């Protein structure tokens, strides 16, 4: 079960004017489940995205980058689950293109105005004929209030659908933001298998949206790890329809800071939901690193702790074997780190300082914290003013079982 997370009810997810969503059963890999999602965008939407840094990036990722760069104006997104269309070479690229061709013909738009996304098993061919056959049903299902259905239809090993929504009032206008994400394993975005889609009815210039999607990713999806594996298909896409009447050309515009903060908050909620639903997760852990020279080195330390199988299994066992955290800090790669200046806390309990165990630390205090479902590891590097947060989970027996049975 996810750690302190429940899927929002359909009525809690607000429609975004200019965006319609539809789902269908295409039988891409498994029968009797909705595995195909179509988003239709009104003319005038601005769209931006960030994608996996894995060099073995999937064919749809390659095509998304090309279509966004073309500047033709994106009018549709198509998402399939079950097959990732990664590690499929030129036939995979042709399959992704054929999917875009089919969506374009169905909606009366250019194929280069379509962004394709796939998630699922790597190294297997995409069944394009099944996608083509399912698209008319997805089109017939297009509705502005279909966010919950879309959240369900993009799942793979997820145990719950992930969605978030909120509104913010700016300049006398109500701005709506809604989004969905999927992912539970192969999670360590570097912009898992991770997909995120977020839409707002604010009007946002292309340059401003391009910067916002990077900033939002850095504060959300680039701060999570389940197992340290960067997927071939990671994608985070942001859509701005402009239909609320609130428009922003630059960061200096009145109300932009409020809209930006609300959008990033939705992205953070979607990203944290992935970790809370991490494969086999029983605990949600925030690694807060402060006192660094740069944010990058703080993140480096945070990920060293969050990736460590020894740290993660200790959390699963509620075992305060906290030397594992010190070891991770030490091998994080900061060559000139003065370990005598480092302090480590579990929640409010000071665990380590002056190069070793804190004088006041008692193992029973550590054990008490380790039994909680949500835990904060705080690290002060004692060498500057920078800070960063990483969100992770524990490793349980179920992580191995889920991934051993993934293709069954």
Per-residue pLDDT reduced to its tens digit, 174-216: 999 999 999 866 555 554 457 999 999 999 999 999 999 999 9
Q: What is the pLDDT of residue 183?
A: 82
Position 398 scores a pLDDT of 83
Q: What is the pLDDT of residue 228?
A: 65
Mean pLDDT, to the nearest integer, of 145-161? Answer: 94
Q: What is d(CA 383, CA 386) in angstroms, rounded to the nearest whole number?
A: 9
pLDDT number for residue 190:
54
Over 60: is that where the pLDDT of 38 sits?
Answer: yes
3-state DSSP call for residue 353? Answer: strand
pLDDT at 148 over 50: yes
DSSP-derived pairing of the beta strands 356-357 and 162-170? unpaired
* pLDDT beyond 90 at 222: no
Report DSSP letters for 40-63, one per residue. Answer: EE-TT-EEEEEE---TT--HHHHH
The pLDDT, as a whole number, for residue 229 is 61
Q: What are phi and psi of 54, to 5 degrees?
A: -65, 125
Q: What's residue 160's pLDDT?
A: 94
Tens-place pLDDT, residues 41-91: 999 999 999 998 788 889 999 999 999 999 999 999 999 999 999 999 999
pLDDT beyond 90 at 40 = yes
Region 1-6: mean pLDDT is 89
Query: What pLDDT is attached to residue 192?
Result: 41
Residues that are catalytic? 193
pLDDT value at residue 193: 53
- Lowest-confidence segment of 230-234, 245-249, 357-361, 382-386 by average pLDDT: 230-234
Mean pLDDT score across all residues of the chain: 93
User: pTM higher than 0.95, yes or no?
Assistant: no
Average pLDDT over residues 132-156: 97
Among 210, 212, 206, 153, residue whose Cα is nearest residue 180? 153
Is the pLDDT confidence value at 402 over 80? no
Cα 16 to Cα 37, 137, 178, 234, 277: the distances in Å are 16, 21, 7, 24, 26
CB 306 within 8 A of CB 390: yes
Question: Tokens representing 150?
Answer: 């879309």
* pLDDT of 370 strictly over 70: yes
Closest-CA residue to 225 (of 394, 381, 375, 374): 394
């Amino acid at each position: 079960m996810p750690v302190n997370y429940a899927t929002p009810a359909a009525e809690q997810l607000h429609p975004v004017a200019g965006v319609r969503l539809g789902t269908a059963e295409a039988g891409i890999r498994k029968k009797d489940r909705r595995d195909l999602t179509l988003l239709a965008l009104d003319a005038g939407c601005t769209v931006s995205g960030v994608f996996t840094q894995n060099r073995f990036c999937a064919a749809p990722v390659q095509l998304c980058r090309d279509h966004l760069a073309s500047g033709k104006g994106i009018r549709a997104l198509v998402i399939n689950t079950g097959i990732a269309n990664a590690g499929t070479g030129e036939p995979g690229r042709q399959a992704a293109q054929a999917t875009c061709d089919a969506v374009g013909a169905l909606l009366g738009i250019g194929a280069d105005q379509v962004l394709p996304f796939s998630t699922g098993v790597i190294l297997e061919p995409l069944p394009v004929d099944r996608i083509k056959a399912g698209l008319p049903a997805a089109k017939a299902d297009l509705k502005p209030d279909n966010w919950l259905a879309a959240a369900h239809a993009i799942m793979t090993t997820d145990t719950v659908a992930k969605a978030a929504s909120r509104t913010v009032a700016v300049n006398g206008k109500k701005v709506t933001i809604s989004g969905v994400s999927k992912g539970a394993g192969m999670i360590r975005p570097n912009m898992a298998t991770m997909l995120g889609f977020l839409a707002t009815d604010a009007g946002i210039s292309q340059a401003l949206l391009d910067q916002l999607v990077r900033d939002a990713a850095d504060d959300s999806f680039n701060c999570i790890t389940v197992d340290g594996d960067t997927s071939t298909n990671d994608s985070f896409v942001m859509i701005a329809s402009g239909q609320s009447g609130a428009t922003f050309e630059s960061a200096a515009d009145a109300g932009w800071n409020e809209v930006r903060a609300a959008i990033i908050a939705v992205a953070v909620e979607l990203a944290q939901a992935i970790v809370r639903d991490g494969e086999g997760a029983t605990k949600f852990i925030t690694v807060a690193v402060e006192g660094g020279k740069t944010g990058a080195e703080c993140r480096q330390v945070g990920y060293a702790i969050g990736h460590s199988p020894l740290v993660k299994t200790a959390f699963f066992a509620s075992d305060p074997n906290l030397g594992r955290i010190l070891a991770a800090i030490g091998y994080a790669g900061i060559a000139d780190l003065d370990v005598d200046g480092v302090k480590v806390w579990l929640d409010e309990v000071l665990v380590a300082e002056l190069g070793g165990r804190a004088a006041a630390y008692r193992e029973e205090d550590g054990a008490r914290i380790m039994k909680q479902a949500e835990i904060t590891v705080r690290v002060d590097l004692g060498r500057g003013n920078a800070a960063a947060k990483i969100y992770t989970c524990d490793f349980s027996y179920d992580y191995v079982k889920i991934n051993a049975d993934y293709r069954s």
